[in-house]
């Protein structure tokens, strides 16, 4: 199982996946890491692990589509079975999503379908929510709207700030993202009929082990 990861920043979820591959929890090989930010610390994490690390700047391209075409070409050189978005902060073109449909996953820091897009932790605090969390989902053309695979919930306490919630959510992300990647690598997980399926069973709208 060949895995390629896309990042834009620190790469803490990338590190969790690197560690899971190295420990044998994921039956796959992380072939390359790509970033749209040359100074993303996640690229250094990849290099430290001996993984090819590439940066591609959007400023070199006239359009989003041109950027994504080049990115697809460079990703495909590694023959990926799975492309993992781990804090990749660019909207993907429809052509990119279509090219990797069924083998493109993302992690989003909210309990989808609540709070797609940015600033999820801030919205949780502003709305006084009692719980928050994170969702792993297949990627479709709808922003943060693809089939949910797995969610993890965290409590929100009085006095929490964004840093508190971020740390709590990330701890769960580092557990569930490698798990979902391992399901895919083991052939247990797939997207079919715009739904996530695990072990031949169609998952509920909120993913595996949800209350629905």
Q: Tell me if residue 132 is catalytic.
A: no
Burial track 70-100 (b if 16+ CB lie within 10 A, e otherwise): ebbeebeebebebbbbbbbebebbeebbebb
In this structure, what token pair is assigned to residue 152? Answer: 């993890």
In this structure, what token pair is assigned to residue 137? Answer: 């989902």
Residues 6+ apart with CB under 8 A from 99: 72
Answer yes or no: are the C-beta atoms of 140 and 146 closer than 8 Å: yes
Answer yes or no: are the C-beta atoms of 40 and 55 closer than 8 Å: yes
CA distances from 69 to 73, 87, 94, 188 (A): 6, 20, 11, 30
Which residues, listed in sequence order, are joined to residue 152 by a DSSP beta bridge?
Answer: 134
Say which of 108, 132, 137, 208 is annotated catalytic: 108
Which alpha helices (DSSP H) does the chain contain, by range? 12-23, 41-48, 64-76, 94-99, 120-127, 162-185
* Active site positions, annotated: 108
């Amino acid at each position: 199982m060949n895995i390629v990861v896309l990042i834009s920043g620190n790469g803490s979820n990338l590190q969790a996946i690197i560690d899971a591959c190295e420990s044998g929890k994921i039956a796959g090989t992380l072939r390359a890491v790509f970033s749209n930010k040359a100074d993303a610390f996640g690229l250094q994490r990849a290099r430290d692990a001996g993984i090819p690390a590439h940066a591609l700047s959007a400023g070199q391209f006239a359009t989003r589509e041109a950027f994504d075409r080049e990115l697809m070409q460079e990703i495909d050189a590694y023959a990926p079975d799975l492309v993992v978005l781990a804090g990749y902060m660019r909207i993907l073109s429809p052509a990119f999503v279509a090219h990797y449909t069924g083998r493109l996953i993302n992690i989003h820091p909210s309990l989808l379908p609540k709070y797609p897009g940015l600033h999820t932790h801030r919205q949780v605090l502003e709305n006084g929510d009692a719980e928050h969390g994170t969702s792993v989902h297949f990627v479709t053309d709808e922003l943060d709207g693809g089939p949910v695979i797995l969610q993890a919930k965290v409590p929100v306490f009085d006095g929490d700030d964004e840093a508190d919630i971020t740390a709590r959510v990330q701890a769960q992300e580092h557990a569930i993202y490698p798990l979902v990647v391992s399901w895919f690598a083991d052939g247990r997980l797939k997207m079919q009929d715009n739904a996530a399926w695990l072990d031949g069973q169609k998952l509920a709208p909120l993913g595996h082990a949800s209350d629905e």
